[in-house]
Amino acid sequence: MSPTVVSAPGKVLIAGGYLVLDPVYEGVVVATSARFYTVVLPSAEPGIIVRAPQFEGASWTYAVDATGCVSQSSGDGANKFVQSALETTLRVVAELKGASALPRALKITIAGDNDFYSQTSQLDKRGLSCTRANLVQLPPFNAPGGPLRDVHKTGLGSSAALTTSLVCALLAYTGTAEPHSALVHRAAQRAYCAAQGKLGSGFDVAAAVFGSMRYRRFDPAAVPLDTCIAELAPRLGQSAPGWNEQIGKFGPAAQHADYARGRRRWERHAESSGQSPSMAHSGA
């Protein structure tokens, strides 16, 4: 079976600053060429196994119950963004399509483009100065060295892009939603905010779903952070109250969460490393 591959871009907020926290004000956000990728494949092993092969010890296994709630069964520490994305998405799948639609055995690989993380140490190891010409010589999905918690980020919204790509990939794999749809956006916003334990403006997730934009935030009351909420899907549905964000066109429309872009990039990486896409996933 071919993998489901979804990518989502990072972001740069170029106008708005902290004002975007107030729905009175509009911000301008640009989606980056740097993207996060999620690859989903069925597995013969029980549980949902998530690996981020760029980082040391970044492998987690989760069990899923009939309601879509997940619990971590193994792994070095926890990744709150991965777990929140899984639980938010799988609860929505269970509520909309029933328990029989829930995947119980998956292999998931997540990987980010090099621009999301500082590559200074990798350039130093190669005796190279920090220039654009030298940065492009580094292999795709380069391992910046060390566990994820110790890696220096560049501020392009890696956590939002990771969360969005994982949510979108699972909704696509289960046939629940298309990319850059309202459900993907709302589920990703909920997963990201729940992982952070607070409500931000949402512009980083919005850019990961829809691309570059003029953005005015939604009503904060729209996001259901309560983990004990009985029904999650109705709070994220088309008629759910409070999802009144305003998104205006800005820049190229193609820089959004995407199936085809993710697949092409992943396949090019697999070909350059001498692997098929499924081998690249399985070996991660």
Q: Any idea where the domains of the chain sit in the sequence?
A: 4-264
Bridge partners of 35? 9
CATH 3.30.230.10 is right for the domain spanning 4-264: yes
Helix, coil or strand: residue 242: coil
- Quick count: other Cβ atoms within 10 Å of Cβ 233? 19
Q: What is the pLDDT along the chain (284 residues), one digit of tens a residue?
A: 578 999 999 999 999 988 999 999 999 999 999 999 999 999 999 999 999 999 998 999 999 999 999 999 887 788 999 999 999 999 999 999 999 999 999 999 999 999 999 999 999 999 999 999 999 989 999 988 888 888 999 999 999 999 999 999 999 999 998 877 899 999 999 999 999 999 999 999 999 999 999 999 999 999 999 877 889 999 999 899 999 999 998 866 556 666 555 555 555 554 444 433 322 323 32
Asked if residues 52 and 36 have their Cβ atoms less than 8 Å apart, the reply is: no
pTM of the complete model: 0.88
> Shortest CA distance to 200 belongs to which of 7, 77, 9, 17?
17
* Residues constituting the chain: 284
- Quick count: other Cβ atoms within 10 Å of Cβ 120? 12
Helix, coil or strand: residue 52: coil
Burial class (CB in 10 A: 0-12, 13-18, 19+), 133: exposed
Sorted by sequence, the CB contacts under 8 Å of residue 143 that are 6+ apart come out as 53, 54, 55
| Angle at which helices 203-210 and 182-196 cross, to 10° | 150
Residues 181-220 pLDDT 10s: 899 999 999 999 999 999 999 999 999 999 999 999 999 9
